[in-house]
C-alpha cells in the first residue's frame, strides 16, 4: 500500500521574542491504512493508552467490514498489527466480538511487557459473557492468548490498565449496552437486568497475575452517596471513563444515570476520585466536562465552561488553565497528555464542516498549532460517530488519529508526525 503523505508547515500562534525567528512545527500527515475494510484504534490515548508497542514497531488496531451499525454477537472485528517497518503492512492475529466504534475493544499494551503483550476484550460465543484477554505476539506464528480473565458470576471486561501494570479495572459492558449503547457490547450477558443499583456490580479491580478480583465500589453504595446530592430518585447507574492516574495510586471515574433517553429525569454525571485500593472515595466538587485526563501529582485536565482547566483533586480546586477559548474552541473535546508530560493535544469536531481538528500545545511556553481537518462525513453524532480520539506514541512526537478514506467509504488511520523547526 502506498501511503498518502502530506507535509504541512504551520507557524505557531504564540509570539517569539524580538531576537528570535518565528517558530514553526512541521506536521507530516500520513495515511497508514486503506479500504475497503475499516481500520481504527477505538479510544482516546489518555493515561498513556498508547497504540504503539514499546519498540515502536507495531501499532494495534481493529479491522471491520462495516461502519453502518453497532456490532452484535455475529459481527467480529479483526485484531491486527500494523508493521511500521514494512510500509504499514496489516496482519490479522485474532478476532473479537466485544467492541464498539467509540471505544474499540479497550486495547492496552501490558506495561509489564509492552513490547510483546497487550490486553483486549472478547465475549464467549455460547454464553455471551464478556472477558478480558492477555495476548502475546511472539508466541507461535500469529501470537497466542496467554490468559483469559473469565468470571462466571460477574463477567466483566477491561476498562483501564494500571499505568505501571499488575492490575486492570473492570466494568459490566452488558449493563452499559442497556443504559448507554455507544459504550457497551450489544447482546452480551448482563447479570443485573432489573436491578437499578446492584450490590454485586460496580467498579472492579483485577490482579493480572493471579486473576483475583475485588469490587472497589458497588452501584448500591454509589446510589446512597448520590442521594445526598440528587434528592429525587436515583436512576439505574453505570460507570464509565475509569482512569488510573500516572502514579497508580488514584482512580477517576464517572457514575452516570438517565442516559438512555427514557423519562424526564435529569442526567446524572458525577465524577469521583478514590485511592486505587478503593478507600477515600469522594465526589469531585466541580464537574469537569469532556473526557478528563490525568496530569501529575493528583491534577486533572478537563473543561469547565469555555476553559481547558487544571483541577487539583487534592484541594478540590481549579488551579490553572491551558490556553484560551480561541485556541481550544471545544475544551470538551478528546484530550491527551503526551507521555513525557510536555505536550497536550485536544481533538475537536466541527460538525458543519464534518471534520475533526487537533490542537497541539506545548505546556511550557504555550506554543501551539492546529492541524488540517480530517473528514468524518455523516458520522458526526450518535452511536456510530467518529470521535477525534488522538493517541500519542511513546516518544511524544507522533499522534495516531482516525479519518475517512479519500472516497469517504471507510474509516482509516493517519499519523501526525510532529517536528519542531
According to the model, what pLDDT value does residue 259 have? 84
Question: pLDDT tens digits for 110-161?
Answer: 999 999 999 999 999 999 999 999 999 999 899 999 999 999 999 999 999 9
According to the model, what pLDDT value does residue 90 have? 98
According to the model, what pLDDT value does residue 109 have? 98
According to the model, what pLDDT value does residue 261 have? 62
- Which residue in 414, 360, 410, 356 sits closest to 388, CA to CA? 356
- Quickly state the pLDDT bin for 19 (edges 50, 70, 90): very low
Q: Are strands 24-31 and 4-11 parallel, antiparallel or unpaired?
A: antiparallel
According to the model, what pLDDT value does residue 6 have? 43
**Does residue 345 surpass a pLDDT of 90?**
yes
Q: What is the mean pLDDT of the chain?
A: 92
**Does residue 360 surpass a pLDDT of 70?**
yes
**% of the chain beyond a pLDDT of 90:** 86
- Quickly state the pLDDT bin for 25 (edges 50, 70, 90): confident
Q: Is the peptide bond before 36 cis (omega within 30 degrees of 0)?
A: yes
Mean pLDDT, rounded, for 406-411: 94
Mean pLDDT, rounded, for 218-224: 97
Question: pTM, whole model, 2 decimals?
Answer: 0.93
- All three cell numbers of 342, joined, read 510536555
Helix locations, 115-261, DSSP H: 173-179, 219-227
What residues contact 272, with CB distance under 8 A and at least 6 apart? Answer: 217, 222, 252, 253, 254, 255, 281, 282, 283, 284
According to the model, what pLDDT value does residue 17 have? 39
Between 393 and 229, residue with greater pLDDT:
393
According to the model, what pLDDT value does residue 4 have? 41
Check if the beta carbon of residue 91 is closer than 8 Å to that of residue 80: yes
- Quickly state the pLDDT bin for 23 (edges 50, 70, 90): low
Between 26 and 318, residue with greater pLDDT:
318
Between 264 and 80, residue with greater pLDDT:
80
Mean pLDDT, rounded, for 254-278: 85
- All three cell numbers of 25, joined, read 512545527
**Does residue 402 surpass a pLDDT of 60?**
yes
According to the model, what pLDDT value does residue 7 have? 43
Check if the beta carbon of residue 196 is closer than 8 Å to that of residue 224: no
- Which residue in 299, 401, 409 sits closest to 30, CA to CA? 401
Check if the beta carbon of residue 349 is closer than 8 Å to that of residue 376: yes
- All three cell numbers of 403, joined, read 479519518
What residues contact 395, with CB distance under 8 A and at least 6 apart? Answer: 56, 339
**Does residue 76 surpass a pLDDT of 70?**
yes
According to the model, what pLDDT value does residue 27 have? 82
**Does residue 1 surpass a pLDDT of 70?**
no
Mean pLDDT, rounded, for 208-226: 97
Query: Alpha-carbon distance 37 to 223, whole Å?
Result: 43
What's the farthest any 2 CA atoms get from each other in the chain? 69
Check if the beta carbon of residue 304 is closer than 8 Å to that of residue 321: no
Query: Alpha-carbon distance 146 to 50, whole Å?
Result: 21
Least confident of 106-110, 231-235, 368-372, 375-379: 231-235
According to the model, what pLDDT value does residue 401 have? 98
**Does residue 14 surpass a pLDDT of 90?**
no
Mean pLDDT, rounded, for 228-253: 94
**Does residue 13 surpass a pLDDT of 90?**
no
| Cα dihedral: 342, 50, 405, 143 (round 10) | 160
Residue for grid cell 469522594:
282
Mean pLDDT, rounded, for 36-57: 94
- All three cell numbers of 2, joined, read 502506498
Mean pLDDT, rounded, for 370-380: 95
Least confident of 24-33, 54-63, 65-74, 302-311: 24-33
The region that residue 114 occupies, defined by phi over 0 for left and psi between -120 and 50 for alpha, beta otherwise, is alpha
Amino acid at each position: 500500500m502506498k501511503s498518502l503523505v502530506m507535509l504541512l508547515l504551520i507557524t505557531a500562534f504564540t509570539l517569539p521574542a524580538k531576537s528570535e525567528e518565528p517558530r514553526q512545527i512541521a506536521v507530516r500527515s500520513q495515511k497508514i491504512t486503506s479500504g475497503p475494510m475499516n481500520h481504527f484504534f477505538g479510544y482516546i490515548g489518555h493515561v498513556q493508552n498508547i497504540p504503539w508497542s514499546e519498540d515502536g514497531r507495531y501499532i494495534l488496531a481493529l479491522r471491520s467490514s462495516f461502519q453502518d451499525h453497532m456490532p452484535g454477537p455475529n459481527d467480529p472485528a479483526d485484531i491486527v498489527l500494523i508493521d511500521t517497518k514494512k510500509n504499514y503492512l496489516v496482519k490479522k492475529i485474532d478476532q473479537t466480538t466485544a467492541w464498539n466504534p467509540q471505544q474499540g475493544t479497550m486495547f492496552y499494551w501490558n506495561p509489564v511487557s509492552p513490547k510483546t503483550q497487550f490486553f483486549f476484550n472478547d465475549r464467549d460465543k455460547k454464553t455471551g459473557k464478556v472477558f478480558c484477554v492477555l495476548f502475546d505476539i511472539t508466541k507461535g506464528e500469529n501470537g497466542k492468548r496467554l490468559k483469559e480473565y473469565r468470571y462466571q458470576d460477574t463477567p466483566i471486561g477491561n476498562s483501564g490498565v494500571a499505568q505501571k501494570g499488575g492490575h486492570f479495572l473492570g466494568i459490566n459492558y452488558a449493563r452499559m449496552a442497556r443504559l448507554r449503547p455507544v459504550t457497551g457490547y450489544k447482546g452480551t450477558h448482563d447479570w443485573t437486568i432489573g436491578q437499578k443499583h446492584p450490590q454485586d456490580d460496580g467498579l472492579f479491580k483485577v490482579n493480572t497475575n493471579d486473576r483475583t478480583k475485588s469490587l472497589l465500589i458497588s452501584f448500591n453504595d454509589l446510589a446512597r452517596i448520590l442521594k445526598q446530592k440528587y434528592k429525587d430518585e436515583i436512576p439505574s447507574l453505570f460507570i464509565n471513563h475509569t482512569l488510573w492516574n500516572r502514579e497508580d495510586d488514584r482512580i477517576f471515574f464517572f457514575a452516570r444515570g438517565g442516559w438512555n433517553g427514557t423519562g424526564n429525569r435529569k442526567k446524572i454525571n458525577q465524577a469521583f476520585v478514590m485511592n486505587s485500593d478503593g478507600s477515600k472515595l469522594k465526589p469531585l466538587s466541580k464537574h469537569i466536562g469532556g473526557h478528563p485526563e490525568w496530569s501529575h501529582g493528583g491534577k486533572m485536565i478537563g473543561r469547565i465552561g469555555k476553559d481547558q482547566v487544571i483541577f487539583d483533586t487534592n484541594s478540590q480546586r481549579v488551579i490553572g488553565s491551558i490556553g484560551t477559548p480561541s485556541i481550544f474552541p471545544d475544551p470538551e473535546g478528546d484530550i491527551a497528555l503526551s507521555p513525557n508530560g510536555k505536550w497536550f493535544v485536544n481533538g475537536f469536531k466541527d460538525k458543519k464542516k464534518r471534520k475533526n481538528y487537533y490542537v497541539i500545545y506545548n505546556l511550557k511556553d504555550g506554543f501551539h498549532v492546529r492541524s488540517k481537518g480530517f473528514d468524518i462525513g455523516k458520522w458526526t453524532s450518535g452511536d456510530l460517530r467518529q470521535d477525534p480520539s488522538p493517541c500519542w506514541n511513546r516518544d511524544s512526537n507522533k499522534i495516531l488519529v482516525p479519518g475517512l478514506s479519500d472516497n469517504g467509504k471507510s474509516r482509516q488511520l493517519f499519523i501526525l508526525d510532529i517536528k519542531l523547526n
